[in-house]
Amino acid sequence: MRRLIYAAVIPLLLLIQVSFCSDHIELPTAGWTISKSSQAKIDANAIIKAAFSSSSVYKRLAYMTDTYGPRLSGSSALERALDWVKEEMEKDGLKVQEEKVKVPCWVRGHEYATLLSPRVKSLRMVGLGGSVGTPNGKPLVAKVLVVSSFEDLKKREIEAKGKIVVFNVPFQNYGTTVNYRYSGPEAAEKEGAVAALVRSISPFGLQTVHTGEMGTAGIPSAAVSLEDAEMFARMQARGQEVVIELYMEAHTLPDQLSRNLILEIEGSEKPNEIVVFGGHMDSWDIADGAMDDGGGAMVSWEVIRVLHNLKLTPKRTLRAVLFVNEENGAKGAQQYFQDHEHELNLTSIAIETDEGTFTPYGISFQGSKAARAILNDIGMGLLSTIGAGNVTGSGVGTDIAYVCDQGVPCGNLLVLDPRIGNLSNNPCNGFSHPPYPEADPLKSAYFWYHHTEADTVDKLSPQQLQHCAAALGVWTYSIANLNSLLPR
Ligand SMILES: *[C@@H]1O[C@H](CO)[C@@H](O)[C@H](O)[C@H]1NC(C)=O
Ligand SMILES: *[C@@H]1O[C@H](CO)[C@@H](O)[C@H](O)[C@H]1NC(C)=O
Ligand SMILES: *[C@@H]1O[C@H](CO)[C@@H](O)[C@H](O)[C@H]1NC(C)=O
Ligand SMILES: [Zn+2]
């Protein structure tokens, strides 16, 4: 994921002072002040009430994940899930547009890893997305070299040749540690390794193994559990010889045709101007993908369903996109960007929800100070009743990154990690700057389940999904109803 910081050129008139912890921000023009409009409050409360009075999101998410299971791009399960979603949307009385997307098709096939020395043990392992299989369709047997970092690998480069390199790197945060999953295999291949095993990118494990996309490498690459990676390191430190047998059938088939699903509520005054938001339908092939990101896709659909039922039409068009291929290629995001590039200067904001649909507390925002002030006003005025009105520092998800890179204001729905919840150490009581306290990575439960078999619907509650739909509904509807597009 790329992040872009641009210097916003703000006209003198719009210059505002955003001071640390201050919620008294001078708004650019009087017309912006949402919290003073009684109609805006009535609409927001109607959206909140409607979202909290329906259990359809959870039911649909549970049905989809139970019935179709994992939805990797290129799989028939993804296509059947998309067909079902489309039919259900039509039953809701919504018009669905399909946008064709060519997606990669990676197939895991059968795979296993066995520790042969110093004892025999069947290992928990999952091949990394994009990996090749073991050569000639045969298992390979090799000695193991455990390294603790890229630097450590460099120091021991002579030892790496002909070995299975294990990257035993403890989780710091996702953005940092995921580099080992992405670039580890290629680095090991460069030193002549025959395979790469990466400690699962997670702060905690119960022999859980986490897959995910890797960069390009010509050697078979897989994830192992935290526990086993630690054990290999202990064995190596004692001078024990560690030998592993690895077998993988992973391969890549030709690209397949899939689609993004799009729902709209056409704007009443400025139908060509757009507020776009969404989540992704695809998941890894071992994960039901309830948290990542079935919940985000279902909640985006729910926003349109709720507004449609309430017959609430904002000034601008609201567009929900259920993307495909977020996990291994972002082709759905690229296709959306290509098909809608001509509309980017008419896009007020793009909002993604892909961090788990737990209890929402606001949005992270990338854009101008003037736009941020407006969002703070909306958050305080219309979302504080459900605690979802915080606006924090920048964040851009994969599915909207292409749009954001072109200067469109962007946001991510922020959710409380299920294991976090103590706000008393936030100097601002959770509001405004500084952002909501950084999640303690050691307590971050999202990454316990992310890209594993354990990403199932029980990790979410019906109330959390309703809460997310309420929050996303008020945010998107209110922004679509402003007097103007959000200032760049
Ligand atoms: C967006 O671009 C189109 C054509 O490129 C132009 O007609 C339109 O006025 C622009 N809109 C805004 C809001 O800048
Ligand atoms: C900000 O987040 C905290 C934590 O969830 C919440 O208690 C508070 O109400 C939120 N503020 C607003 C304006 O929604
Ligand atoms: C919350 O955090 C504060 C400050 O870090 C600490 O003193 C307090 O005991 C914590 N409360 C709970 C319920 O964990
Ligand atoms: Zn995701």
Residues 320-367 have pLDDT tens digits of 999 999 999 999 999 999 999 999 999 999 999 999 999 999 999 999
Atom of ligand 2 nearest to the CA of 383: 14
The catalytic residues are 326
State whether CATH 3.50.30.30 applies to domain 109-249. yes
Cα–Cα distances (Å) from 412 to 17, 402, 409, 471, 486, in that order, read 23, 14, 11, 12, 16
292 CA to middle of ligand 4, Å? 4
> Cα separation of 39 and 365, whole Å?
25
Q: Tell me, what's the pLDDT at 407? A: 96
Ion ligand 4 neighbours (CB, 5 A) are 292-293, 354
Percent of the chain, pLDDT > 70? 87
Give the predicted TM-score (pTM) of the model. Answer: 0.88
438 CA to middle of ligand 2, Å? 15
**Which ligand sits nearest to residue 213's alpha carbon?**
4
- The pairing of strands 347-352 and 390-392 is unpaired
Q: Tell me, what's the pLDDT at 35? A: 61
Q: Which fold has domain 4-104+254-480?
A: Aminopeptidase (3.40.630)
**pLDDT of 23-57, one tens digit each?**
333 444 434 566 668 999 999 999 999 999 999 99
Q: Is 422 in the pocket of ligand 3 (CB under 6 A)?
A: yes
Cα–Cα distances (Å) from 420 to 81, 382, 410, in that order, read 32, 24, 25
**Which ligand sits nearest to residue 347's alpha carbon?**
1
Q: Tell me, what's the pLDDT at 33? A: 64
CB 282 within 8 A of CB 324: yes
> Cα separation of 185 and 236, whole Å?
20
**pLDDT of 171-222, one tens digit each?**
988 999 999 999 999 999 999 999 999 999 998 899 999 999 999 999 999 9
Number of residues that make up the chain: 488
**Which ligand sits nearest to residue 485's alpha carbon?**
1
Q: Is 358 in the pocket of ligand 2 (CB under 6 A)?
A: no
- Domain-wise residue ranges, the chain: 4-104+254-480, 109-249
Question: Which of 424, 426, 429, 440 has the most ligand 3 atoms within 8 A of CB, as the residue to mutate?
Answer: 424
Residue 433 has pLDDT above 50, yes or no: no
Written as one letter, the residue type at 474 is: V
